[in-house]
Amino acid sequence: MARRAVVRLGIPALIVAVLAVVALWRIGPPPQRDASAVGTRGTSVEKTLAAPLTTLAEVMSNNAVGREASLEHVSIRERAGDRFYWIGSGDERPIFVVLDPDVKRTAATTLRPGARVTLIGIVRPVPTVQDVEQQWHLPAATATLIAESGTYLHVTEIRN
């Protein structure tokens, strides 16, 4: 009877032990860091969260792609379509914005030329002229202007 108890408890324990060893083998050891290389030769860069872009000039820069932007009290310059706008004041180069189909907005938000709003979104690279014409259904002249700008703001939230 003692032998049955050992078998009844021993076999499941053996299976659990084998599965644990296999799991640890699959995961492997933690990565080794060379303490002398970190920060001395420029080979290791710590990933940090960047603060959102807050000015139009930052959004237009080449290294802005993929970054979040929070532009407060920007002026809407011109409406290019149902979801497409140019923003910026008279002395600045305008930035093209595309509203997400599910954009969050306050009830009192009006998007007309001259209105000032806060736009929150992500900076993206501009597609080719042909893609702009086909996907966004905009005229060729507008598509060329957008392509020349290099980046656009994909807006996910609008506030007053």
Q: What is the pLDDT of residues 31-59, one digit of tens each?
A: 776 655 555 555 555 555 678 888 887 88
pLDDT at residue 15 greater than cutoff 90? yes
- State residue 88's pLDDT score: 86
Mean local confidence (pLDDT), 18-22: 92
pLDDT at residue 110 greater than cutoff 60? yes
- State residue 38's pLDDT score: 52
Summarize pLDDT for 132-143 with one digit per residue, the tens. 888 888 888 888
Instruction: Choose among 120, 127, 131: nearest CA to 153.
Output: 120
Domain 56-159 has CATH 2.60.120.260: no
- Average pLDDT over the chain reads 82
Q: Which residues of 113-128 are buried (b: 16+ CB within 10 A; e: fewer)?
A: eeeebebbbbbeebbe
Which residues have CB under 8 Å from 28's CB, separation 6+?
none
Q: Name the token pair of 157.
A: 């939230």
User: Which tops the pLDDT comparison, 24 or 2?
Assistant: 24
Return the domain boundaries, the chain.
56-159
Of 53-57, 78-82, 126-130, 150-154, which gets the smallest average pLDDT?
Answer: 53-57
pLDDT at residue 148 greater than cutoff 70? yes
- State residue 154's pLDDT score: 92
